[in-house]
Amino acid sequence: MDSNTIIGLTIAIGGIAPAIAIGLIGSKAVEAIGRNPEAASKIQSNLILGFAFAEAIAIYALVVALILKFV
């Protein structure tokens, strides 16, 4: 494999788990808001926090890929 393939695979594989995680968080949050619309603002702040933690994993993979590509 040449280096560009490896860089592509780094972010592609690194993006799988966060994508599933963000999907799960989003679906559960929408479900919760549907069940209890009054709690929407509380759910939303927890939703954004959950997104941030899940997304951080993808960002790590992205930073590794960027470092491999440009440094």
Partner 1 sequence: MALNISISAEPVARLFGLTITNSLLTGWIVTAILAVSVYLFSKQIKTKGAPSRLQSAIEFIIETLYGVVESIAGSVKAKRFFPMVGTLFIFILFSNWSGLIPGLAAIGLREELQGVSVLIPFWRAPTADINTTLALGLITMIMVQVYGYQYLGFKYFKKFFDFSNPINFFVGILELVSDFSKIISFTFRLFGNIIAGEILLLVMGLIVPILGPTPFIALEIFVGFIQALVFMMLASVFINMATLGHGDEHHE
Contacts to partner 1 by CB under 8 A:
41-42, 45, 48-49, 51-52, 55-56, 59-60, 62-63, 66-67, 70-71
What residues contact residue 33 under an 8 Å CB cut-off, 6+ apart?
39, 40, 43, 44
Nearest approach, Cβ of residue 39 and partner 1 (Å)? 11
Nearest approach, Cβ of residue 13 and partner 1 (Å)? 16
What residues contact residue 32 under an 8 Å CB cut-off, 6+ apart?
39, 43
Nearer of residues 9 and 63 to partner 1, judged by Cβ: 63
Q: Is 37 helix (H, G, I), strand (E, B) or coil?
A: helix
